[in-house]
Amino acid sequence: MKKLKRIILLVIILSLSITVFNDGSFFVTSISPGLGLNSAGKDVEELQQRLKNWGYYHGDIDGFYGWDTFLAVRDFQKRYTIGEDGIASKDTLLAMGLTKIAEKGSAYAAPHKGAGNEQLLARAINGEARGEPYVGQVAVGAVILNRTRDPKFPKTIAGVIYQPRAFTAVADGQINVPIDPKSTVVKAARDALNGWDPTNGCIYYWNPATATSKWIWSRKIIKKIGKHNFGK
């Protein structure tokens, strides 16, 4: 009985509601807005995938907000001092760049220490430039890193990559594709992180054959590498 009371008290503290059955089992639901325990669907899948990319979540991408997802969210919140309640409410979702109301530049998440920036940067390069020559792959990585140092963009690699509408690889899910540790995109990410910048400080790139934004053509072209223009 004492153990059950401690569980109930913990759940109340975490802003959850609990239903206890005769056999001693219990069912927990969130009473806060956003995603919480027992939420399910595509939004939860995206939440899980992002947390997994950053090294917080190690379970299956099953779209069900169970205790493993709850604990992963809480670890993320702890790192960013958002409020460690394990519920993906507005502030937490904004930090992950996961809500439609997230304004440009609002995403500021970073990967967990166990994941490392190299893996996330490599996935972005893979989704954006895997068919490019090696120097072009490094150049895409360099642009992402250059943005972290520019006041117009988020300050972390993950924040830049997951900034709403910033990269096609995020929009179409290619950022989630596992990559071979021996792939050239991993080496390209490493070279970019070590300081190689073939773009000389560019913060934009685009493929002139497929670019649909008229605004991007207002950027000054500094270099052309492979199929991409690189500009400032």
168/131 same-domain check: yes
Which residue ranges in the chain fall short of pLDDT 50? 8-9, 11-32, 100-115
pLDDT of residue 184: 95
Looking at residue 57, its pLDDT comes to: 92
Say yes or no: 130 and 223 in one domain: yes
Q: Do 47 and 83 belong to one domain?
A: yes
- Please report whether residue 145 resides in a domain: yes
Domain annotation covers residue 15: yes
Pair (121, 79) in one structural domain: no
Task: Assess whether 143 and 215 both reside in one domain.
Answer: yes
| pTM of the entire predicted model | 0.56
The CATH number that applies at residue 175 is 1.10.10.2520
Number of domains the chain is built from: 2
pLDDT digit string, tens, across residues 31-45: 345 778 888 888 888
Q: What is the pLDDT of residue 122?
A: 94
88 & 149 share domain: no
What's the pLDDT score for residue 2?
Answer: 56
pLDDT of the residue at 128: 95
Q: Are residues 48 and 154 in the same domain?
A: no
Structural contact between residues 58 and 68, judged by C-beta atoms closer than 8 angstroms: yes
Domain that holds residue 176: 117-231
Domain of 85, CATH number, reads 1.10.101.10
In angstroms, the CA 177 to CA 74 distance is 25
Per-residue pLDDT tens over the stretch 51-98:
888 888 999 999 898 999 999 999 988 887 777 888 887 778 777 766
Say if 106 falls within a structural domain: no
pLDDT (0 to 100) of residue 14: 47
Say if 109 falls within a structural domain.
Answer: no
User: What pLDDT score does 111 carry?
Assistant: 45
Same domain, 122 and 92: no
Same domain, 121 and 225: yes
Residue 28 placed within a domain: yes
Question: Both 51 and 121 in a single domain?
Answer: no
Q: Is 126 in the same domain as 172?
A: yes
In this structure, the answer to whether residues 79 and 124 fall within a common structural domain is no
